[in-house]
Structure 1
Amino acid sequence: MRRVERAFVMLNGTVLVLLLATMSVVVGWNVAGRYLTGNSLTWADEVARYSMIWLTFLGSGLALREGAHAAITNAQDALPTQGQLALRAAILVVMFSFFAFMVWVGIDYMNRMAIQKSAALRVPMKWVYAAMPAGFVLMIVHLALIAPKYWRAGQQHSDEAPLG
């Protein structure tokens, strides 16, 4: 199971690196072209914008895993052990519920945008808005993978940061 989890995390990170590289190359090429030849790519702005949207949502699960989202741990730390366990369980239930709700909202919004197309690329906007449910599904998976350790100890092992 640990090997599958590491492969999942590595795949998620690799996709982020590829998206960031694509965005960087397109923007760099566009800037160079604009200043060297006076011409720019008509679609570069859209590719950069949509890549950033996908980067944000696909990276949010890894940020959750690393404890990079805002968190207030003082209340947890001030409670006795049983209180900490109860609070962490409540936090996990709220997070799972919110993420699932956002998947549902994201799919609904994605379907509403199915007929709209982007201006330059003429890509159906549902594929841009698909980043939201995809990102929240990844957050659910990442949370499910780290939840047992978070609930038991309030912090991850040395190679994983606390959830919150």
Structure 2
Amino acid sequence: MKHLTEIEIGGNPVLALLSKLNRTVEGIIKPVISIALLAISMILCFNVIARYILGFSIKWAEELANYTIIYITFFGAVNCLPIGMHISMDAIVDKIGSKGKTFLGKINAVIGIIFSFALSVYGYQLVLFVVKRGQVSPAMMIPMVIPYMAIPTASLFIGLEFLEKLFAKN
């Protein structure tokens, strides 16, 4: 889905606000993902050099890389949705007319909204469970709520993207 223009929003203030919120979130996520990829690449490269040349290793490097990749994956999905980079059945969709494509797009958005918001709700329940347990990561000793927060938060933003897609004029 391309970013919405004023014509596609059709003067709907709620859709305009939703679109602005989604573009703001995307604008924040993109550079953070880039910096995170660069940071874990540098840390892991240094860790390999340190292990094989200097004779020591950073104990928390692998754990940090794993948690960072989780965040990159979930929040990268938020940025992929509006530009149509999610998995789709293009071979089937290309064979139907424009009205059929619009209808399937709306069905896809509804399914995406239901799934994303359900994942967000259950993800927050998981986060609350982890908070109650007081679980910490083994190497970095950070609260495990930090890695788990990627699931509900990114799912909420994905749901908002699907919501915008549902109500956009095609």
Q: Using the TM superposition, name which of 126-135 and 60-69 deviates more.
A: 60-69
1:116 to partner: Cα distance: 1.2
Provide closer, same or farther for how the CA distance between residues 38 and 14 of structure 1 changes in structure 2, counting only shifts above 3 A.
same
The aligned residue for residue 58 of structure 2 is 41
Higher relative contact order (CA 8 A, sep 6+): 2
Number of aligned positions between the proteins: 151
1:146 to partner: Cα distance: 4.4
Please list, as runs of the form range in 1=range in 2, the aligned pairs for 1:54-65 lying within 5 A after superposition: 54-65=71-82
1:70 to partner: Cα distance: 1.2
| 2:126 equivalent to 1:112 | no
The aligned residue for residue 159 of structure 2 is 140
> Identity of aligned pairs, percent?
24
Judge conservation of contact 2:26–2:78 (CA < 8 Å) in 1.
Answer: no
Provide closer, same or farther for how the CA distance between residues 129 and 3 of structure 1 changes in structure 2, counting only shifts above 3 A.
closer
In 2, the alpha carbon distance for the partners of 1:19 and 1:69 equals 21
In 1, the alpha carbon distance for the partners of 2:57 and 2:158 equals 37
In 1, the alpha carbon distance for the partners of 2:25 and 2:150 equals 18
TM-score calculated relative to the size of structure 1: 0.80
TM-score calculated relative to the size of structure 2: 0.77
1:26 to partner: Cα distance: 1.3
1:148 to partner: Cα distance: 4.8
In 2, the alpha carbon distance for the partners of 1:95 and 1:85 equals 15
**Deviation string, structure 1 residues 23-67 (Cα, Å, up to 9, x no partner):** 112111111111121100111111111111111111111122232
Gaps of 5+ in 2: 1-15
* Structure 1 vs Structure 2 CA RMSD: 2.2
Provide closer, same or farther for how the CA distance between residues 5 and 133 of structure 1 changes in structure 2, counting only shifts above 3 A.
closer
The aligned residue for residue 47 of structure 2 is 30
Q: Partner letter of residue 155 of structure 2?
A: F
Judge conservation of contact 2:109–2:165 (CA < 8 Å) in 1.
Answer: no
Gaps of 5+ in 1: 153-164
1:88 to partner: Cα distance: 2.0
